[in-house]
Structure 1
Amino acid sequence: MYLSGGVVVSLLSGACLGVTPSKPLLWRRTPCSNLNVLPMNTGMRGNNGIYWGWNPDIEKGDNISAINMMTGRKASTVGIFSQINSPNGFDGHQLLRHLDEVKGSGAALIASVMPNGLSFNEVTPKIAEDIAKVVRQFTDQGVEVWLRFAHEMNYYVRPGTYRGNSTQFIKAWRTIHNATKDIDGCLLFWCPNNAKLIDLMAEWWPGAEHVDIVGMDQYPSSLSATFKSTYGAFYDAYAKKYNKHMAIPETATKPDNATLKQAWVRALASADVRAEFPCLQSVTWFELHKSWDYRVVMGQDKSVRDRTLSNFR
């Protein structure tokens, strides 16, 4: 949900091409059905044990280091957005300029790569290999990468941000999978936008053998929203059915009412959801001031930050 001008025996096979992190989130973790594997990463977690991170407002200077300094905790995940602006190639500069900082933070990178300047049909093996080269620059440095290609595909095709249909998307996705499947530490992250009916997402599903993590972007507007009421149907249809890790890569609330935001943070970070939803692994908050002020840390007064941080350990 971001446009700019300018993170397990591994679920993927292949030899290690990089530096395996000493404390991974999902890297070299068994599938979610194995509940005997405890978290290895020491990054920020909710009081319920779920990993927590941020989509920082990088374009405005609020990088992950600034958020970590404000919270006094190391984020477990950091989300960064990058656009493919041409069918001629992808250099990944929007990601790579933050490589050293992401590495230093110890967070898993949720790399949201958006095909804005080409159609799904133009996602060739060459484009896929360009993406793989960028990913390797992170994994070679020990950074875990959750590659979120063409996220919210079921939404972005409507205004024409992405061009093509679901059949073409699946072909493009599998091309990306072929190029990245042997990169140890790169997990492919399928993430549609919220749909009122789960059936509306089904045509965009690339197949369980081509997906490592599932998630959905959602911005609730009710004080009574819970994980179950918001994500329960999606969880059952994809995480539970296919035994996949689930992560929430983008969420906040609409409107940006402080009470509403705090209620949603509490529902995700403090409510005991792991017993019923054991495949849920992480949440990454949309910490930006965009059309709404989604932030719960940066730019907020101390009382808001304190209420936010009371949900974490």
Structure 2
Amino acid sequence: MTWGPRKFGAVTTAAVLLGSCLAACVGPQPGATTPPVATCEPTPPSAPKEGILSGVNLDWEHETLEQYAANLGERPAVTVTFTDFPMSDKDMENVDAAFEQIRANGGTMLLTLEPKLGLAAVTPEVADDLSSRLARFNNAGVPVIVRFAHEMNGSWYAWGQQPTAYVAAYQRLATAIHAKAPGSAMMWAPNYGGGYPFSGGKYQAVAGTAEFAALDTNKDGEVTGTDDPYAPYYPGDEAVDWVGMSLYHWGNTYPWGANVIPEQGKFLQQLTGNYNGAGGNDLAVPDFYTEYGAARNKPVAIPETAALTTASGEGATPLAIKEAWWAQLFDPAIPRDYPALKMINWFEWDKNEVEVKATVDWTSTKDPTVRAAYTAALPEWFTFAAEPTACTPAGDGDS
């Protein structure tokens, strides 16, 4: 099985100084030669009535958002950034730099919080401090979706396989953000359940503990693939605004690393719990899309996706692999048959992956040939950010 790509990195590029505002702000005035100044009215990030938000997980150390948008030919509607949580002074500086770039670009920040010191570090004070910072972002015209402690059902993160502590921390953070940052929302995003419980990870639940008992959903005294990989971790409908799941093509046979074309239908099969390939198992996996999206009236996001290609020179070409994967993401039947799916974010990184002991090029715009094919394939129902307009905050949140 794979435990999913490790996604670290920080914003080190200089903050863009231009201001912006989103759809909630007053638009440009006729005949204006400079962007008008308007007041932003923060509203929670919502799913578009029609279409799907197109976003990016950007490698901030090597590419600015402006450069990526120029390569894509569109302004991404969602931009993902990662940070340790609680944030150090440097983390705060990096997140603020990401905010400035998104403010200049337009669109929504998807802020992924990684509590590497453990869930106990997410205190009420820490939650309140973050909500104040987000309120400032919201008042300046940038909506934020907070993806807290993603892949919490995995065994590889310090916050993993601790459902009781996780739910408490998530609810604590959601309460603070909903109360103080009206232009922000909360996303719950477990790892795809194929291969659960991902035995062997450093943070695997230990038999005899209360957390282990909570994960033993069928009460047979074990935590295995027959237990529900999602339900014990769900924080409740009031705390959750969006649901999400990262879905990658790592290959068709474990161990990963081969350059192979993804099986037909793999993306939607994983999303709905019907995939029985090498990335899954022979046991039933719950239908994530229906159970946590459509049935609960929650918009569904794919916060991260891409297809594995390495420089081994063996197997299928990077273009063929990536084209086959994004053809599944851009299936014209998706808006009709899966109307709750409202966000797809490409993982635009070229980085070493410990699972394959090699550098994986996940990108879609780095290589000119791949970029041309990708941009030509973007579906008309993808939604991008509008042209940014300068605005002044409606009110200041404490930073």
Name the structure 2 match of 1:165. 162
Where do 1:134-213 residues align within 5 Å? 134-155=133-154, 158-162=155-159, 165-182=162-179, 183-196=181-194, 199-213=228-242
Name the structure 2 match of 1:44. none
Q: In 2, Cα distance between the equivalents of 1:84 and 1:164? A: 18
Of 209, 218, 222, the match for 2:247:
218
What TM-score, normalized to structure 1? Answer: 0.81
Identical aligned residues as a percent: 25
Name the structure 1 match of 2:319. 258
- Structure showing greater radius of gyration is 2
Q: 1:20 to 1:74 in 2, by over 3 A?
A: closer
Where do 1:1-313 residues align within 5 Å? 1-4=6-9, 21-22=22-23, 27=43, 38-39=49-50, 49-60=51-62, 62-84=63-85, 92-116=92-116, 118-155=117-154, 158-162=155-159, 165-182=162-179, 183-196=181-194, 199-220=228-249, 221=251, 222-232=262-272, 233-255=287-309, 257-291=318-352, 292-298=360-366, 300-301=367-368, 303-312=369-378, 313=380
Per-residue deviation, residues 69-106 of structure 1 (Å, max 9, x unmatched): 111111111001111257x9996332112222101111
Per-residue deviation, residues 225-270 of structure 1 (Å, max 9, x unmatched): 4442121221012001211001111111234533121211121124
Q: 1:192 to 1:237 in 2, by over 3 A?
A: same
Q: In 1, Cα distance between the equivalents of 2:21 and 2:373? A: 35
**AA partner of residue 210 (structure 1):** A
**AA partner of residue 133 (structure 1):** S
8 Å CA contact 2:44–2:184 kept in 1: the answer is no
8 Å CA contact 1:223–1:260 kept in 2: the answer is no
Displacement of 1:170 in angstroms is 0.4
Displacement of 1:290 in angstroms is 1.1
Name the structure 2 match of 1:12. none
Q: In 2, Cα distance between the equivalents of 1:277 and 1:229? A: 12
Displacement of 1:109 in angstroms is 0.6
**AA partner of residue 185 (structure 2):** L
Number of corresponding residues: 279
Displacement of 1:276 in angstroms is 1.3
Q: 1:159 to 1:38 in 2, by over 3 A?
A: closer
Q: In 2, Cα distance between the equivalents of 1:305 and 1:90? A: 33
Q: In 2, Cα distance between the equivalents of 1:109 and 1:282? A: 13
**AA partner of residue 311 (structure 1):** A
Q: In 2, Cα distance between the equivalents of 1:243 and 1:22? A: 23
Per-residue deviation, residues 144-196 of structure 1 (Å, max 9, x unmatched): 111111111122xx234336711000000011011101322201011111111
RMSD over aligned Cα atoms: 2.7
Per-residue deviation, residues 47-78 of structure 1 (Å, max 9, x unmatched): xx322111111022x12111101111111110
8 Å CA contact 2:56–2:79 kept in 1: the answer is yes
8 Å CA contact 1:89–1:130 kept in 2: the answer is no
Q: 1:5 to 1:38 in 2, by over 3 A?
A: closer
* Aligned partner of residue 377 in structure 2, secondary structure: coil
Q: In 1, Cα distance between the equivalents of 2:320 and 2:263? A: 8
**AA partner of residue 191 (structure 2):** N
Q: In 2, Cα distance between the equivalents of 1:262 and 1:305? A: 10
8 Å CA contact 1:76–1:106 kept in 2: the answer is yes
Displacement of 1:133 in angstroms is 2.0
Q: Which runs of 5+ in 2 are unaligned?
A: 1-5, 12-19, 26-41, 197-226, 252-261, 273-286, 311-317, 353-359, 381-399
8 Å CA contact 1:90–1:127 kept in 2: the answer is no
Question: Which structure features the higher share of helix residues?
Answer: 1
8 Å CA contact 2:146–2:185 kept in 1: the answer is yes
8 Å CA contact 2:10–2:60 kept in 1: the answer is no
Name the structure 1 match of 2:315. none
Q: Which runs of 5+ in 1 are unaligned?
A: 7-18, 40-48
